Amino acid sequence: MIPFNKPHLTGKETHYIYDAVNSGKLSGNGKYTKKAQAFFEEKFRFKKTLLTTSCTDALEMAAILLNIVEGDEVIVPSYTFVSTALAFVRQGAQIVFADSRSDHPGIDETLIENLITPKTKAIVVVHYAGVACDMDLIMQIAKKHNIFVVEDAAQAIDSYYKGNPLGGIGHLGVFSFHETKNIISGEGGLLAINDASFEERAEIIWEKGTNRSAFFKGEIDKYGWVDTGSSFLPSELISAFLYAQLEHLKDIQDKRIRLWNIYFENLKDLQNENLLKLPKIPEYATNNAHMFYVVTKNLEERDNFIRHLRENDMHAVFHYLSLHTSKYYLKNHPLKSLPWSDEYSNCLVRLPLFYELEEKQVNSICKVINEFFNK
């Protein structure tokens, strides 16, 4: 069986974990936390970064930093993971769902402005599959209406919009290091702070609502409870694992992009024959090869396709179920019409893509796919 995903180890993870254990500093914000945060700030020029225990935690920090309160509205794409919306719901926000683009599962940027009301506090954009949204348009809309932009870059490490790293364009950006991502730590996340006005408070929220970080920097002579917050920072064991991965970022990205390109070259004739749709990379975006997906014509074809792959010992999966159709949302809201989001929920299939996948395996998968659609 070719699995859908297999976590990759670079070789230094356990060495760095041992080093962290041997140092006697396990609780977080130690040597490896600082090294990982410095990596992001130096390579991607983020103003400030804070590691978190998950991308969900990073989103929750963003919601707190933006002072989201009951009655505020937050615009979110429906075709995304639940955390993108849930972090803001927990603060009392009303979620206003936006549809996907016809040519890409990401948010349809042209619909955003019509969703804005006097209650709108923020726009959360998701760079689906690591492919950038049109950030110039989004930031122009946000500036015009004086609202915040949060980039959900969970899938978008080392991906760019017009040369600018994703996660570093909006007021805040968040990343995931879940084991299905390009760079992993099992669980883990990162908050990128691009607006300097959030920096001091972000550290307080990160440290359980205390000014403990300022104390350890020698900026104050004692620390106490000064704001809301939680225990968002990860242990040094997670940070040590992550840092070993970051050291191999280029190698990991190069391999994934090579596999992605093999998929595309082997399947593009099916798209030309209108038998399926392949990912689209706009001119303004780069491809970090987080995933390779195909879009079938309908739900029945999708299910038959996934079944066919499994019969050939190849594991593929469908992805998100549109959040506007979820039981939780429908308890208090009428069903909305978001046709493109629904189409991706019904028709999108993710194919195996991980570092240790071999080129010959990708070719075998593509052969089976071509046989299925050409029947």
Q: Which residues are catalytic?
A: 181
Residue with token string 């949302």: 329
The closest of 288, 264, 261 to 277, measured between CA atoms, is 264
Q: What are phi and psi of 160, to 5 degrees?
A: -135, 155
Q: How many Cβ atoms from other residues are within 10 Å of residue 15's Cβ?
A: 11
The closest of 143, 139, 132 to 101, measured between CA atoms, is 132
3-class state of residue 150 by DSSP = strand
As a whole number of angstroms, the distance between CA 299 and CA 247 comes to 41
Q: Which residues contact 241 (CB under 8 A, 6 or more apart)?
A: 13, 16, 17, 184, 185, 186
CA distances from 127 to 68, 82, 158, 251, 375 (A): 22, 15, 12, 22, 34
Bridge pairing between strands 160-161 and 292-295: unpaired
Q: Are 288 and 260 in contact (CB under 8 A)?
A: no
Q: How many Cβ atoms from other residues are within 10 Å of residue 281's Cβ?
A: 17
